[in-house]
Amino acid sequence: MSSSLPTVAFQGVHGAYSEEAIRMHFGDSVETVPCPLLGDVFDAVERGKATYGMVPVENSVAGTVASAYELLMEHDLRVQAEVVLHVHHALLAPPGTKISEIKIARSHIQALTQCEQYLVRRGIKPLAHYDTAGSAQDLAQEPIPGVAAIASRLAGKLYGLDVLEHSIEDEPQNYTRMFVIGNGDPKPGAKNKTSIVFAMPDRAGSLYSALGEFASRNINLTKIESKPRRNKPWQYYFFVDFEGHFQEPDAEAALASLLRSAAILKVLGSYPVANSSAAATDASVAAKKEKKQS
């Protein structure tokens, strides 16, 4: 493998959805580094064991991954890019297994929840496992009659399992937003987005004033979410995404004004906006499929 290719760390085992996002963003030739914990992904990049890390930050069904934002605050790495993955779950089983033989499906609890109606229709009992790709890996190593795994099609390919059915998720609009993390700031793209976190003094109108810095400069906020501050009961961090690059004049002015009044302000990164054309195509196909089934 060429040494010029980046190495990208991710949480989980090979075949995880984060690894699928890595291949979608960097190509199939990229070298991937599995890590047991999400924090290990950050450590791998900081220690030079990986060039980048792929970190899930938000799911369209399950919501924000709070631990990912905590780690972004604690580490000095910057967001290099965002990747939006359309998550498709597959029912996997050892070669030769018929779907009529499946009585139990193992996977991470979130994947099982996202396929709940499908499992009910099939009469398959869900069994929680520590990981989606891990359920596929364990099943391949120790096949059990009547037991299947729910994971990505990539996991099935890697571990030699048959795909009994694909796209079994109940909600077709199931997307996970991920950040590529690394050192330094990436080059600006044609269209950019910036992610920041800040905390305001506990006084009336402080948040209103903070958001007004963006509104008065016609900067569009695409996300705002609060999270409790550790060791400071009833005080909160605010995570905000806005359109544009932090070095653009209006954004610079807004951040400079916010810095003067905020208790804490950190720019997590400015990065090119994810290409939404593929997601839009997937959504259109899913909508047609749903209409046809109805």
| Residue whose tokens read 């139990």 | 104
Tokens of 288: 């047609």
| 10 alpha carbon, distance to own chain's centre | 11
Helix, coil or strand: residue 231: coil
Residue-level pLDDT, tens digit, the chain, 294 residues: 345 789 999 999 999 999 999 999 999 999 999 999 999 999 999 999 999 999 999 988 878 888 999 999 999 999 999 999 999 999 999 999 999 999 999 999 989 999 999 999 999 999 999 899 999 999 999 999 999 999 999 999 999 999 999 999 999 999 999 999 999 999 998 999 999 999 999 889 999 999 999 999 999 999 999 988 877 777 889 999 999 999 999 999 999 999 999 999 999 999 999 875 444 444 444 434 433 443
Q: What is the pLDDT of residue 276?
A: 56
For the chain, domains (ranges, CATH) are 7-86+174-186 (3.40.190.10), 90-166 (3.40.190.10), 192-272 (3.30.70.260)
DSSP 101: G
Q: What is the pLDDT of residue 225?
A: 93
Tokens of 112: 């099982």
Tokens of 140: 């391949």
**Closest Cα to residue 182, out of 13, 1, 26?**
26
**Closest Cα to residue 224, out of 245, 208, 202, 205?**
208
Tokens of 38: 């999400």
DSSP 10: E
